């Protein structure tokens, strides 16, 4: 680009009555007090348009957008009116109150109801392209990227007093015009003018201004005009869109000058991508047309910003657009924010108040959430036996669940049943499955519709305790494969470690400075006294992070009006945090130097392996893809072999040690030797199982006190090692009161719940304990908290636990510990207290509040 391309924007606003918050056909009162050069009427008399001057920089554009909005407000407010920048407003009446003028009257006569329903507002951006032949070519090259810009702008979830289910319902209303949608496939300005002339001759449109393509050469300016976007409440979203659009135009012109071919994009697929963007906004997956494939918005937008970096840097916009894109993704779409505003009290006036404030760059006043009575239809015969996390005594819904139950009540059993059917269909389409064991078929991941909420106060306490626990466990693993000070000092008996099923010589291979527990999955439960306790530590290959991310997307997709409230921690940053932890284990800066190591599609959690690799932007590999040489571990196959510096291990030690490489030789020992030489980091480290069996678990509070010198923040369930003669005698005497667990058990296998067991089962477990005391522990029975769970036509209380994920990494050489917000709530089947999927359990989307 030899000269800085100029740009400008047109914004459309709804005029609303400040008392009723309904759309008000009072634009004439405003325009009579405004400068006609910058303000203009729209088709409906409840809409007004602003036009910025031509701008050279994004900062100039932001200044004028804010100035024009402020001017509108200053004129409107004395009249009892306000202005809203959004695709739609929730409170608008259908009517025939169109603006004066022969053109608008002709449109009403021709298009009838379509005109009456045009209570919608968009934002248009113009970028300078003086040569009309070039402009036509730019339009064709930029068109495939427009669905991303639509998703960024999505601000119209409500239509005439109800939730549309879309993030941009304005797009759906707008799409009914005969010339709406992707641009026509023409190559020159002459072809474009001929097409417009034919449309006018056909009587379909009356003038060139009625060519409503998503992008077009402007009908009256020497520009390319972006028309696909909703009006945006936040000025910064308009600036972001303008920055991206100007860079896209610059890229298209550069590609055209270089003679690069036109990007392939089917017209039908482009329409489908636009529909998906209107449906999802930034809260669901978008269509990556290069696949095509469904991709999360943070990845797709991040890729677009990176792809446009040369143009953005040339324009001086790189840092600003990068930061704006990150802020927008963290904030979520305007549609999602409106649903959160509505969810607090179920009032559309709250939505309009929030839009009025955001339009002027203010934070809205937040009304306190109101409680709601339990729905008699959904909570008929809801009688929890333990502490229930959502429903209190007498069927009263707890305050922080009020907005959730209002949404569920609006859906009712039929709506929830339909959402459950849509959920299963979407899971099938996305391949969200797991497998119980070898030879078993893939099953849909069992996901319940009703999210679980963890308050900010609870999460703060849990986070402190989880960080402390994982730090102590890390110190223990280092110690037992080294000096074994904890044994010498009499804190943990030597027999506990020597007979631990998870101890292996492979644990001695990790370098002294390596992080051994990079990813920990800690299972917690809430007891009858509303007290959190740790049930189990998972330090080998804990699964669930990917399923947590997917659960959020699926629930948002099938129940868009069930929008999390303000303050729910988003999960967009989770893949990046995991990626950073992996890269911190190596000195390599090569983006291709990290990979996820899986056993392949037969693995029960292969879906998660594939998802996390995709989300982190790293390779997914199996042992057959790896070759170990004197120089380290190489990824071989198609293309030139490349060195792998870190492997996120998602297969167990036995599978790795029996796996074969591309030469059919066993590869596990060779990988272990490469770890010992410091040529590759293996995360999690081999040998971590010594710290997460059921017997070692009993000593974790002692580890906290011994290694950290701190009071224990998270308690264990009281545990009785049967290897101890006195404890064993007590356990055998109380079999019908306790929970009996095999030390090396996992997935809920082998557990006997004494109060629920028959005489025969208790006799068998008694004999097993006597025969192998070191192989068993007993625990007090914890009455797990319950949570409403959808069961066909009503909600039922089901026992739940919580798997929280803790990351450890080296940042600047200093170990850091971080609790991810991607917690996974697991839910037991009816009548059971075992939540594992292998025993019929399911999962819930978990909303962690800030």
Over the chain (850 residues), the average pLDDT of each successive run of 10 is 82 95 91 87 88 96 97 95 95 71 72 78 95 93 95 94 89 87 86 89 84 86 94 97 97 93 84 92 84 79 92 95 90 86 81 95 75 66 86 80 84 91 90 73 87 88 92 96 96 91 92 93 88 93 94 88 70 89 82 91 91 93 94 85 93 94 93 94 94 92 94 92 91 92 76 89 92 90 90 91 93 76 92 72 88
* Contact predicate 160/170, CB 8 Å: no
349, 380, 409: which is the final residue of a domain?
A: 349
pTM of the model: 0.69
The H or E element that residue 498 is part of is helix 494-498
d(CA 652, CA 689): 10
Query: Is 392 part of a structural domain of the chain?
Result: no
Burial of 42 (0-12, 13-18, 19+ CB in 10 A): buried
- Coil, strand or helix: which one is 617? coil
How many CB atoms are closer than 10 A to CB 790? 19
- CATH code of 35's domain: 3.30.590.20
How many CB atoms are closer than 10 A to CB 362? 10
Do 511 and 620 fall within a single domain? yes
Return the bridge partners of 41, or none: 48
d(CA 300, CA 739): 48
Do 47 and 144 fall within a single domain? yes
Do 831 and 693 fall within a single domain? yes
DSSP per-residue codes, 655-684: HHHH-B-TTSSB-HHHHHHHHHTTSSEEES
Q: Taking each helix axis from N to C terminus, what angle separates 606-616 and 574-583, rounded to the nearest 10 degrees?
A: 80
Query: Is 443 part of a structural domain of the chain?
Result: yes
Burial of 783 (0-12, 13-18, 19+ CB in 10 A): middle
Do 119 and 251 fall within a single domain? yes
pLDDT value of residue 100? 66
The H or E element that residue 434 is part of is strand 433-434
Query: Is 769 part of a structural domain of the chain?
Result: no
The DSSP output letter for 507 is G
Query: Is 816 part of a structural domain of the chain?
Result: yes
Query: Is 208 part of a structural domain of the chain?
Result: yes
Do 174 and 320 fall within a single domain? yes
Do 336 and 441 fall within a single domain? no
321, 349, 377: which is the final residue of a domain?
A: 349
Contacts 24+ apart (CB under 8 A), 207-214: 207/103, 210/177, 210/179, 211/179, 212/174, 212/177, 212/179, 212/180, 213/139, 213/179, 213/180, 213/181, 213/182, 213/183, 213/184, 214/143, 214/146, 214/180, 214/181, 214/182, 214/183, 214/274
Q: Which of 297, 289, 358, 45 is nearest to 167 (CA)?
A: 297
d(CA 119, CA 137): 32
- Mean residue pLDDT across the chain: 88
Domain that holds residue 621: 429-717+782-848
Size (the chain), residues: 850
| Alpha-carbon distance values, 819 to 483, 517, 579, 748 (Å) | 29, 13, 14, 25
Query: Is 744 part of a structural domain of the chain?
Result: no
Do 317 and 441 fall within a single domain? no
Report cis status (omega within 30 of 0) of the bond before 292. Answer: yes
How many CB atoms are closer than 10 A to CB 803? 25
Q: Taking each helix axis from N to C terminus, what angle separates 146-153 and 235-257, rounded to the nearest 10 degrees?
A: 170
326, 349, 372: which is the final residue of a domain?
A: 349
Q: Which of 489, 483, 459, 461 is nearest to 699 (CA)?
A: 489
How many structural domains does the chain have?
A: 2
Do 436 and 321 fall within a single domain? no
Whose tokens are 């704006």? That residue is 324
The DSSP output letter for 704 is I
- Coil, strand or helix: which one is 753? strand
Do 334 and 463 fall within a single domain? no
d(CA 341, CA 278): 20
* Contact predicate 786/832, CB 8 Å: no
* Contact predicate 13/137, CB 8 Å: no
Query: Is 724 part of a structural domain of the chain?
Result: no
d(CA 52, CA 239): 12
- Coil, strand or helix: which one is 642? strand
d(CA 822, CA 136): 45
- Coil, strand or helix: which one is 215? strand
Query: Is 543 part of a structural domain of the chain?
Result: yes
List of residues 6+ apart from 823 with CB closer than 8 A: 454, 548, 802, 803, 804, 805, 846, 848
State both tokens at 44: 């409906």
d(CA 311, CA 315): 6
The gap between the terminal CA atoms of the chain, to the nearest Å, is 45
DSSP per-residue codes, 285-313: -EEETTTTEEE-HHHHHHHHHHHTHHHHH
Instruction: Tell me how far apart the 2 most distant CA atoms of the chain are, in Å.
Output: 97
Question: How far, rounded to the nearest angstrom, does the alpha carbon of residue 95 sit from its chain's CA centroid?
Answer: 39
Buried b (16+ CB within 10 A) or exposed e, 459-481: beebbebbbbbbbbbbbbbbbbb
The H or E element that residue 141 is part of is helix 132-142
Do 310 and 439 fall within a single domain? no
d(CA 733, CA 766): 10
| Alpha-carbon distance values, 22 to 51, 91, 353 (Å) | 25, 5, 11
Do 477 and 341 fall within a single domain? no
How many helices (H) does the chain have, and how many strands (E)?
27, 34
d(CA 460, CA 465): 9
For 269, list phi and psi in degrees, rounded to 5.
Answer: -70, -35
């Amino acid at each position: 680009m030899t000269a800085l391309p100029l740009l400008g924007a047109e914004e459309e606003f709804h005029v609303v009555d400040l008392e009723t918050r309904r759309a008000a056909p009072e634009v004439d009162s405003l325009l009579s007090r405004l400068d006609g050069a910058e303000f203009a009427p729209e088709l409906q008399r409840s809409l007004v348009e602003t036009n910025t001057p031509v701008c050279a920089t994004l900062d100039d554009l932001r200044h004028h957008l804010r100035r024009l909005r402020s001017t509108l407000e200053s004129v409107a407010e004395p009249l009892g009116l306000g202005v809203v920048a959004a695709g739609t407003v929730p409170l608008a009446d259908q009517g025939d109150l169109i603006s004066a003028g022969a053109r608008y009257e002709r449109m009403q006569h021709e298009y009838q109801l379509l005109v009456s329903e045009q209570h919608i507002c968009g934002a248009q951006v113009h970028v300078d392209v003086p040569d009309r032949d070039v402009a036509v070519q730019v339009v064709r090259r930029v068109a495939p990227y427009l669905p991303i810009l639509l998703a960024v702008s999505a601000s119209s979830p409500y239509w005439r007093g109800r939730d549309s289910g879309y993030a941009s319902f304005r797009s759906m209303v707008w799409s009914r015009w005969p010339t709406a949608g992707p641009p026509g496939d023409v190559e020159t300005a002459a072809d474009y003018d001929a097409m417009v002339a034919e449309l006018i001759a056909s009587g379909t449109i009356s003038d060139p201004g009625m060519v409503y393509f998503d992008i077009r050469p402007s009908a009256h300016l020497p520009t390319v005009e972006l028309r696909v976007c909703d009006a945006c409440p936040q000025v910064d979203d308009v600036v972001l869109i303008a920055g991206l659009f100007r860079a896209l135009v610059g890229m298209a012109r550069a590609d055209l000058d270089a003679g690069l071919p036109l990007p392939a994009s089917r017209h039908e697929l482009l329409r489908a991508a636009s529909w998906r963007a209107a449906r999802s906004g930034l809260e669901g997956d978008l269509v990556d047309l290069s696949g095509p494939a469904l991709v999360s918005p943070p990845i797709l937008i991040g890729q677009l910003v990176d792809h446009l970096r040369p143009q953005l840097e040339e324009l001086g916009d790189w840092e600003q657009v990068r930061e704006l894109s990150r802020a927008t993704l963290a904030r979520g779409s305007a549609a999602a924010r409106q649903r959160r505003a509505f969810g607090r009290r179920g009032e559309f006036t709250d939505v309009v108040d929030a839009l009025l404030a955001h339009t002027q760059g203010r934070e809205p006043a937040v009304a306190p959430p109101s409680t709601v009575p339990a729905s008699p239809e959904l909570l008929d015969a809801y009688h929890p036996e333990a502490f229930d996390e959502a429903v209190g005594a007498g069927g009263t819904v707890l305050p922080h669940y009020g907005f959730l139950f209002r949404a569920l009540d609006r859906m009712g059993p039929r709506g929830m049943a339909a959402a459950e059917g849509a959920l299963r269909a979407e899971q099938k389409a996305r391949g969200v499955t797991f497998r119980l064991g070898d030879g078993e078929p893939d099953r849909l991941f069992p996901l319940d519709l009703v999210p679980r909420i963890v308050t900010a106060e609870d999460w703060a306490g849990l986070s402190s305790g989880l960080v402390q626990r994982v730090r102590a466990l890390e110190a223990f693993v280092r110690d037992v494969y080294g000096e074994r000070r904890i044994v010498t000092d009499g804190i943990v008996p030597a027999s506990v470690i020597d007979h631990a099923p998870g101890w292996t010589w492979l644990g001695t291979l990790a370098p002294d400075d390596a992080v051994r527990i990079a990813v920990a999955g800690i299972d917690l439960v809430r007891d009858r006294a509303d007290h959190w306790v740790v049930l189990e530590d998972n330090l080998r290959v804990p699964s669930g992070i990917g399923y947590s991310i997917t659960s959020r997307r699926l629930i948002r997709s099938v129940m868009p009006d069930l929008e999390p409230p303000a303050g729910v921690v988003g999960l967009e940053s989770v893949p990046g945090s995991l990626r950073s932890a992996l890269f911190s284990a190596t000195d390599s800066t090569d983006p291709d130097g990290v990979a996820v190591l899986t056993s392949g599609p037969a693995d029960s959690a292969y879906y998660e392996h594939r998802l996390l690799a995709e989300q982190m932007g790293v390779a997914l590999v199996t042992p057959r893809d790896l070759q170990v040489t004197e120089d380290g571990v190489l990824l071989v196959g198609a293309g030139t072999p490349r060195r792998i510096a870190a492997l996120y291990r998602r297969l167990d030690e036995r599978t790795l040690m029996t796996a074969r490489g591309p030469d059919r030789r066993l590869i596990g020992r060779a990988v272990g030797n490469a770890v010992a030489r410091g040529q590759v980091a293996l995360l999690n480290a081999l040998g971590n199982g010594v710290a997460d069996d059921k017997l070692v678990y009993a000593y974790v509070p002692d580890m906290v006190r011994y290694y950290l010198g701190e009071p224990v923040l998270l308690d264990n369930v009281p545990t009785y090692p049967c290897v101890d003669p006195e404890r064993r005698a007590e356990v055998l005497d109380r079999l019908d009161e306790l929970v009996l667990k095999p030390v090396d058990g996992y997935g809920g296998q082998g557990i006997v719940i004494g109060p629920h067991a028959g005489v025969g089962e208790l006799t068998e477990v008694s004999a097993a304990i006597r025969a192998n005391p070191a192989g068993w522990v007993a625990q007090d029975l914890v009455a797990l908290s319950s949570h409403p769970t959808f069961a066909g036509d009503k909600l039922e209380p089901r026992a739940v636990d919580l798997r929280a994920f803790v990351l450890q990494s080296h940042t600047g050489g200093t170990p850091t510990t971080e609790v991810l917000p991607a917690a996974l709530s697991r839910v037991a089947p009816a009548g059971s207290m075992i939540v594992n999927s292998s025993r019929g359990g399911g999962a819930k989307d978990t909303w962690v509040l800030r």
